[in-house]
Structure 1
Amino acid sequence: MSLPAYLSAGVDPLPLFVYVLSLAVFAQGTSEFMLAGLVPGIARDLSVSVGAAASLTSAYAVGMIAGAPVMAAVSARWPRRRALAGFLAAFVVVHVIGAVTASFPVLFGTRIVAAIVNAGFLAVAMSVATALTPPAKHARATATLLAGVTLSCVAGVPAGAALGDWSGWRSAFWAVAVLCLPALALVFRSAPAAAARHHDVSIRQEAGELRSGPVRLALTLAALVNGATFATFAYLAVIATDVTQLPGGAIPGLLAAFGVGAFIGVTTAGRIGDGRLGRGLVITLCVLPAGWAVLAATSTHPVPLFIVTVIQGGLSFGIGSMLVHRVMFVASRAPSLSGSFATVALNAGAFLGPLLAGIATETTHDYRHAAWVSAALAATAAVVLVASRTRAAHAESNTG
């Protein structure tokens, strides 16, 4: 449904600027994930090994992990417009540099810088989105931002891969830079000008929120769930070709199927999430590892692979979105850094999951074990959550 149709349907809308932020997140998500389809071209053009070209993905993840808290802290007192516009403009510049360079070390450096400013933008965008909406809409605002990431899986990543195949990997970098320009113009025009953080709350006090038990639990769960998600997502293409024996042309469709499920999951989470670890979230999280196990067991057959991929995309991103909102909810006394906390957790999982899946598949030479790694990580998250709720219920009964 288009935004005008959505507004005319009588549904209480979010502020329009939240959708502007989601557009920028879509462009940045496309940049983060599109490398999976560009690695061979980069390796040939810059005369490096495929492994070296693939390391650009790890560089981006590390930049996101390191950049989120640092950039959120540095920009805490900046006017929101300056922070958002500055991060987004830098993102455009490094993609232009990446598109024209003939040096692999320079390209590697641009990926790290792009990740750092992406992390800074996302952390500020989360705080701005929640600041612009009443508490009852915080989950929807968070989900709308994350929908930009899921849409990049549905449309941006397959399009980037097709563009790279048609006219070279550099054209994909140019496309991301151009895609950011409308969002950048709208940020200059519509972003809040004032700083969002109250000056009586120090960054040190906000960082102290990491010692809170509920915050640590939410971050742990977010990292485990996202680790499970990307352990399989990173190997989904090779599972399709080497295990399911699908032709290479089916890979964009499979990735898009995962993205469609993810979009549905994020949208649903935005409607029902309330920032609490309710029974519905517990049940869904307990179902998640079973879904990854089913994918591993049935991945030799094309139809089950596509069906389970859609379901797992929806469950994974839906749960992930609710956990991000949970981080923002329990770290409400850290308005500047709570978004960076969530960003670090998600990207730590996105880094660790494929790493563990790589170790498993290299050892067994069976790509289905990537899905078993996902099942193990998701099961660990479920056990952690159930144990936490059991301890809380036991403590409450003793005090009662």
Structure 2
Amino acid sequence: MPIAVYVLGLAIFAQGTSELMLAGLLPELSADLGVSIPAAGLLISAFAVGMLVGAPVLAVVTLRWPRRTALLVFLALFALSHVAGALTPNYEVLLVTRVVGAFVYAGFWAVAAVTAVGLVPVTSRARAMSVVTGGLTIATIVGLPAGTVIGQHLGWRAAFWAVGILSVCAMAGVLATIPLGRPDPARTPRLGAELRAMVNPRLWLSYATTAFVTAAILVVFSYLAPLLTETTGLHSSAVPAVLALYGVGSLIGITIGGRYADAMPFHTLAIGITGLCALSVVLAVWATVPVVAIATIFLLGGFGFAVNPALNARVFSLAGDAPTLATAVNFSSFNVGITIGPWLGGLAITGGAGYQTLGWIAVALGLVALGTVVLAVLLPLPTTTGRPSPVDTTVMPTGRRTEATGI
């Protein structure tokens, strides 16, 4: 795997730490800025909105830019948004910096994904994406608790400065490892081709899979802390360790998924989503048993993140030679799931349902996601010709479709 792919993963780690760390810094932000906890929580929502919009917009705007230039501009703006956030005493200004930071972070995701798969053979696309997205998984294990500790001991502004410094380090890595060359004019992405690639029902089914799987994961993950303390009966001091265990499971899952998703995308999706549904049932029924709950949370991280490389690689397969906009919309689909999952969980809890109900909601969302995978397999292949991909489906002589490996 080229070192540049790992550098992109490092950059995602830096930016992903910022995405996650506010969940542990809301009390400090609230007290320092003189706003309520719910108002401080809007900083998290603002970040999600910025990402939802930023990916497709910046993918189109920077379509003809050299990729290294786009990556450096995004990282520079992200670092500057954190410097501005660290310096401002004003809540409204901080809110704007969160939207701006998320906007360019989403653009970085879209360009980084296309860059990573362009650096490896087509048979290693999912593995490359598992390295890049693994940066976010490591941010869950290391960045989230580290940012929280820094914020609690040195102030939330120190955590923002730390993210800014990490982003500058990532810029140095991009400068050293990503080729500068301007794209070959004959192969420069064209907006018309990018838009035509979007007219593919199987691509939109893939987006639906991404959104529903992400929602199924987040509906539980967003409320793990109160679930563990109020339902499982753990002391609050044990929660960070369980969250770290979830992160370890996520890292293992995304690594395994990255190894198999290129050759067996549908198998990877089916096994991962089925495991996610089964484990959600276990959590819904036995969340009151500490040993079972902790083991289930570890496995939820593994199965939930194992599907991530397949979700990303599948989009590249379906988009063919025009993947930039399609990839950007896929990242927006992740953020749709990030928004829907916690919202549904919040509705259930506000309505008086116990935290174990979250497991049943995750099951429902997971089954819908599994249905989209089945529909994608059954949907007739497009009649238009294009360059086939090892991760796409083929028509067998009998008329049955299978994955390119025949597995």
Normalised by the length of structure 2, the TM-score is 0.90
Distance 1:306 1:240, change over 3 A: same
Identity %: 39
* 1:349 and 2:337 correspond: yes
Partner of 1:24: 11
Residue 335 (structure 1) aligned to one of 299, 323, 329:
323
Matched residue type, 1:42: L
CA contact (8 A) 2:14 2:139 kept: yes
Give the drift of 1:248.
Answer: 1.8
Structure-2 separation of matches of 1:131 and 1:289: 34
Structure-2 separation of matches of 1:17 and 1:387: 36
Distance 1:201 1:183, change over 3 A: closer
Give the drift of 1:367.
Answer: 2.3
* 1:35 and 2:33 correspond: no
CA contact (8 A) 1:128 1:196 kept: no
CA contact (8 A) 1:275 1:322 kept: no
Give the drift of 1:284.
Answer: 3.2
Give the drift of 1:390.
Answer: 4.3
* 1:177 and 2:138 correspond: no
Partner of 1:235: 223
Structure-2 separation of matches of 1:164 and 1:318: 31
Matched residue type, 1:332: G
| Structure richer in helix, relative to its length | 1
Partner of 2:280: 292
CA contact (8 A) 2:46 2:98 kept: yes
Structure-2 separation of matches of 1:385 and 1:79: 35
CA contact (8 A) 1:360 1:369 kept: yes
Structure-1 separation of matches of 2:246 and 2:99: 27
**Any residues of structure 2 matched to 1:34-183 within 5 Å, and which?**
34-183=21-170
**Any residues of structure 2 matched to 1:202-217 within 5 Å, and which?**
202-217=190-205
Instruction: Note the alpha carbon deviations across 1:17-63, whole angstroms, 9 max, x for none.
Output: 11111000001111101111011111111111111111111111111
Aligned pairs, number = 386
Partner of 1:5: none
Matched residue type, 1:311: L
| SS in structure 1 of the partner of residue 288 of structure 2 | coil
Matched residue type, 2:305: F
Partner of 2:389: none
Distance 1:48 1:196, change over 3 A: farther
Give the drift of 1:340.
Answer: 0.7
Residue 320 (structure 1) aligned to one of 308, 330, 341:
308
* 1:283 and 2:271 correspond: yes
Partner of 1:221: 209
Give the drift of 1:294.
Answer: 1.1
CA contact (8 A) 1:275 1:325 kept: no
Larger CA deviation: 193-202 vs 162-171:
193-202
Structure-2 separation of matches of 1:384 and 1:190: 38
Instruction: Note the alpha carbon deviations across 1:123-172, whole angstroms, 9 max, x for none.
Output: 10000101111111111111100100100011110111122222221111
Structure-1 separation of matches of 2:189 and 2:156: 45
Instruction: Note the alpha carbon deviations across 1:61-109, whole angstroms, 9 max, x for none.
Output: 1111100001111111111121010000111110111112111111111
